[in-house]
Structure 1
Amino acid sequence: MTSTAPHQSILDKPFVLDLFAGPGGLDVAGHALDIPSLGIEWDRSACLTRYAAGLDTLHADVSAVRRDAFESLPPEINVLAGGPPCQTYSVAGKGAGRKALDEVKRYIERLMAGESDEVIDKDLKTLSDPRTAMVLEPLRYAIRATRSPNRDRRPYDVIVLEQVPAVADLWTHYAKVLKKTGLPDGTEYEVVVGVLATETYGVPQTRSRAVLIARRKGLGVPSLPPATHLAYEAKEWNRRDVPAPRQPHQPTLDERPEPEVEEGRETGEGEEVPQPWRSMGQVLADPVGTHPGRATPFLVRSNYGSSGVPGRRGVRSDEQPAATVTGRISRFVVFEHLDENVVREGARFSMNEAGMLQSFPPDYPWTGTAQAQQVGNAVPPVFGMHLLSAALGLPVPAPEVPGKPWQPTTEEQRAKLRSHGCGAETECTDRCPRPEDQAPPVSSARPRRKASAK
């Protein structure tokens, strides 16, 4: 799954703490790179999926762990990662977070100045939607690490964050204070921020993400992961509701626009030319594991924009990448071509197929309720591999989407993981978050007709 070049990590033994871990996208990425991780996730069903996948998990509220159980975290953790909830920042939501950007920046300044958690927490209660404050948690964890006796007050060596594009401005402010102001103990970081398209890293869907990669000063200057695939441009395709059937093919370089070169980056001699983006048909057509394969050609109709780009909505064929996979993926309508003149509605995407479009391995054990939401909220594992590799100085991952089926845990292994994550082998305990505590305020609840992707 990864490059055959030897590992040259900037850290001897990287160990990731994954905040807002979801069903495991970043942890699956770490697994592929032989990097251990511990995820903190408060959604019960997402935790059940993680246990079934064999991922180390704490079923807990990220804020509560920071306040009450930080000293119980493994002291050897040296990489902080996470994708805070995006609902209040996403263009698909009501935008409480987008409206509060300047206010959140002031909280960042106050945290870096060393203001007490008690005062910050009191003031954060005035936000119209408490989820907006979750974007501050990675910074609060970074500060808490420098005050933890359990880890000899050692700061995290590497920080990797991702969110919807609307958060890029906040990541830029994060970068400014991490580099110029430093944490309250004086620790400073070298930081890079950018908005990346996941299809340019081999994920078979169009999804834009704002990312931040930081390294503690002395560990080198980080850079954004180099693109391995070309960007998808909707205007290059005929997007009629029922285009004439055609045989699936991978577009040639002559058919694609020239890739944009990042400012200040030169193409070195012998550098590989980015490959064409990966299509839905490439990932889903062939049988693998329990996936029976999906007959091509087919069309997929979605009813919303993709990553805030209206031109990406509508109908796509199996020769194109999927639109952004969100919690509405199970409602995508799939049409099959029977012959030149007949098109009929076919089976909608299974959760296994939806996960594969997110670049999860086939047969990933989606478990519990709201599985489509779990899939849509996840970090695409292949994208996560590129982020972690760039952050740690590892070789660029191989371009292919994972094709080997995931092996779920045994019941005994699952019980052991749940005992650690929830406190009991077969059920949640009093230390687990209550479902009613996870609901946003009624005034900020997302309209049912909308969808967002974490």
Structure 2
Amino acid sequence: MDYGYTGPIDLTGLTAEELRELAAPWPVEWLFPPREDDPDRVVNLFSGPGGWCVGIRDVLRRPTDMVGVELHKDAAATAEAAGFRRIVADVTQLDPAHPALRWVRGLIVSAPCQCWTPSGKQAGHDQRNQDLLMDTFLAATEATFGHFHDAGPCEWEGDCTICADPEWDGYSGFTGPLLTLAEARAPIEQMTDARVGLLAEVLIWALSLSWRYNSLAWLAMEQSSALPEDVLDAIKAELLCADWVDAKYKVLDAVDYGLASRRKRVFLIASRHHLLDVEALVPRQPIKPMPAAAALHWPAGVRVNTRGERKTPGGNEWSADKPSIAITSKIRGWYWAHDKSRRFSLDEAALLVGFAPGHPWTGSRSSSCQQIGDVVAPPMSCVVIGALLQEPWEQRLRDYLTTIYRLAESDELYDVAA
């Protein structure tokens, strides 16, 4: 739905039930302005079981008032059991200009990545799908900011809200919405896989919030490292055209930040009010690789079988004396090569992607492993949000890894010799 709210809402005299109905599905208190010392309100789209949330709350230790939107019921239940708020809903069916979102300061988006990763069908790399995605990006701007009207005669073929203003003084400015959000999403219907179009939600929500309201200050996006740079550059360009001050992206591998597994992802960060330093995403001191066996307190010499007897070009085993290969949902079937009965527990699988033991995974083993395979690694959430918000993250990351890996004080995470 598009509620069409652009101005303050008179809440005077509304009953508690009426307030709940107006705020739904968001918290009632979000209808009211925050107090000066309240934490940032943050919307987390495709929020999963809590990777971003754990990284911000437990690693970076930054207070936030965050609500996540997640369609997968088991993932939402996992997050709720861990103390995070979730709305079980389809992101595309919610209104990004809902009146309860007027004071939202931060937006986090992690659209599904199966369309982009080499292990999937890669529908996102089909040129026709990419062209349609670019059309959706442009339409997202037209459905929010519209087009920029230069001083002088208008070249816009449709109705121009600036020219149509009888009091127009001839100066420039944004026209405002020229399309509905449904019209902006229309190109997605022509894609061979509609999941490709979910990437457009990062612009639909960021531009809707920053056009309708003036509170949104920052954006963080995570996606497969295989996402083409042309797509990332297009997202960045639309944000800059809409008067965001800066947007940058960088591919990061979690193993370079002390994680006991490889996990390469691209992160895009954007700010409406200040320039960004992409080098703030890089640790000042290189961090030593963390062997999986050391993190899990396994004996030396363990090899992990990932594919049974099936041989592949990359092999079907890896040594736990080194960081793990990238964790996917298939970890549910991995076992010690010399002992087929020794499989990963959920705590062990989750520890490899940066969750402390005891995270309340909900659902079947297959569902839980799928959540672990898809989740944003909490240490990387700490790094990205810390760099974006100009908050020191290195020592907090080190403290967290030392705790979850149960390292002795004498153990050194950083490569002192580097």
TM-score normalised to structure 1 length = 0.66
Of 244, 256, 266, the match for 1:188: 244
Distance (whole Å) between structure 1 residues aligned to residue 38 and residue 217 of structure 2: 11
Distance (whole Å) between structure 2 residues aligned to residue 346 and residue 25 of structure 1: 29
Report how far residue 123 of structure 1 moved.
3.0
Any conservation in 1 of the 2:224–2:265 contact (CA below 8 Å)? yes
Task: Name the counterpart of 2:376.
Answer: 379
Secondary structure of 1:167's partner? Answer: coil
Q: Bigger relative contact order, structure 1 or 2, given CA contacts below 8 A and separation 6+?
A: 1
Secondary structure of 1:63's partner? Answer: helix
Structure 2: give runs of 5+ residues left out of the alignment: 1-36, 147-178, 405-418
Task: Name the counterpart of 1:211.
Answer: 267
Task: Name the counterpart of 2:132.
Answer: 103
Query: Which residues of 2 match residues 14-25 of structure 1 at below 5 A?
Result: 14-25=40-51
Report how far residue 361 of structure 1 moved.
1.1
Secondary structure of 2:54's partner? Answer: helix
Of 190, 198, 210, the match for 2:254: 198
Q: What is the letter of the counterpart of residue 70 of structure 1? A: H
Distance (whole Å) between structure 2 residues aligned to residue 72 and residue 312 of structure 1: 50
- Structure with larger Rg: 2
Correspondence 1:223 to 2:250: no
| Identical residues among aligned pairs (%) | 24
Task: Name the counterpart of 1:82.
Answer: 109
Distance (whole Å) between structure 1 residues aligned to residue 181 and residue 257 of structure 2: 38
Any conservation in 2 of the 1:356–1:362 contact (CA below 8 Å)? yes
Distance (whole Å) between structure 1 residues aligned to residue 342 and residue 274 of structure 2: 50
Secondary structure of 1:39's partner? Answer: strand
Secondary structure of 1:347's partner? Answer: strand
Any conservation in 1 of the 2:218–2:269 contact (CA below 8 Å)? yes
Report how far residue 359 of structure 1 moved.
0.3
Correspondence 1:70 to 2:98: yes
Of 234, 238, 248, the match for 1:173: 234
Any conservation in 2 of the 1:18–1:82 contact (CA below 8 Å)? yes
Task: Name the counterpart of 2:63.
Answer: 35
Of 194, 199, 202, the match for 1:135: 199
Distance (whole Å) between structure 2 residues aligned to residue 51 and residue 396 of structure 1: 25
Distance (whole Å) between structure 2 residues aligned to residue 349 and residue 14 of structure 1: 37
Q: What is the letter of the counterpart of residue 174 of structure 1? A: I
Distance (whole Å) between structure 1 residues aligned to residue 371 and residue 351 of structure 2: 13
Distance (whole Å) between structure 1 residues aligned to residue 383 and residue 267 of structure 2: 11
What CA deviation, in whole Å up to 9, does each residue of 1:195-239 have, x standing for no partner? 1111111221111111101111x32324254434xxxxxxxxxxx
Secondary structure of 1:78's partner? Answer: strand
Correspondence 1:301 to 2:301: no
Q: What is the letter of the counterpart of residue 104 of structure 2? A: I
Secondary structure of 2:40's partner? Answer: coil
Q: What is the letter of the counterpart of residue 115 of structure 2? A: T
Distance (whole Å) between structure 1 residues aligned to residue 90 and residue 371 of structure 2: 17
Residues 366 and 76 of structure 1: is their aligned pair in 2 closer, same or farther, counting only changes over 3 Å?
same
RMSD, aligned CA:
2.4
Residues 89 and 388 of structure 1: is their aligned pair in 2 closer, same or farther, counting only changes over 3 Å?
same
Task: Name the counterpart of 2:293.
Answer: 281
Any conservation in 1 of the 2:45–2:110 contact (CA below 8 Å)? yes
Report how far residue 28 of structure 1 moved.
0.5
Distance (whole Å) between structure 2 residues aligned to residue 211 and residue 94 of structure 1: 22
Distance (whole Å) between structure 2 residues aligned to residue 81 and residue 209 of structure 1: 15
Residues 225 and 351 of structure 1: is their aligned pair in 2 closer, same or farther, counting only changes over 3 Å?
farther
Task: Name the counterpart of 1:262.
Answer: none
Query: Which residues of 2 match residues 308-387 of structure 1 at below 5 A?
Result: 314-335=316-337, 343-369=338-364, 370-387=367-384
Report how far residue 363 of structure 1 moved.
0.9
Distance (whole Å) between structure 2 residues aligned to residue 147 and residue 215 of structure 1: 14
Distance (whole Å) between structure 2 residues aligned to residue 360 and residue 329 of structure 1: 15
Correspondence 1:390 to 2:416: no
Task: Name the counterpart of 2:85.
Answer: 56
Any conservation in 2 of the 1:15–1:35 contact (CA below 8 Å)? no
Any conservation in 2 of the 1:89–1:166 contact (CA below 8 Å)? yes
Distance (whole Å) between structure 2 residues aligned to residue 312 and residue 391 of structure 1: 36
Aligned length: 320
Task: Name the counterpart of 1:161.
Answer: 221
Distance (whole Å) between structure 1 residues aligned to residue 391 and residue 378 of structure 2: 16
Distance (whole Å) between structure 2 residues aligned to residue 128 and residue 159 of structure 1: 28
Secondary structure of 1:367's partner? Answer: coil
Of 173, 177, 190, the match for 1:126: 190
Task: Name the counterpart of 2:181.
Answer: 117
Report how far residue 190 of structure 1 moved.
0.4
TM-score normalised to structure 2 length = 0.71
What CA deviation, in whole Å up to 9, does each residue of 1:35-67 have, x standing for no partner? 322211110101111111111111111111236
Any conservation in 2 of the 1:193–1:224 contact (CA below 8 Å)? no
Distance (whole Å) between structure 1 residues aligned to residue 104 and residue 137 of structure 2: 23
Residues 52 and 404 of structure 1: is their aligned pair in 2 closer, same or farther, counting only changes over 3 Å?
farther
Distance (whole Å) between structure 1 residues aligned to residue 76 and residue 252 of structure 2: 28
Report how far residue 299 of structure 1 moved.
1.1
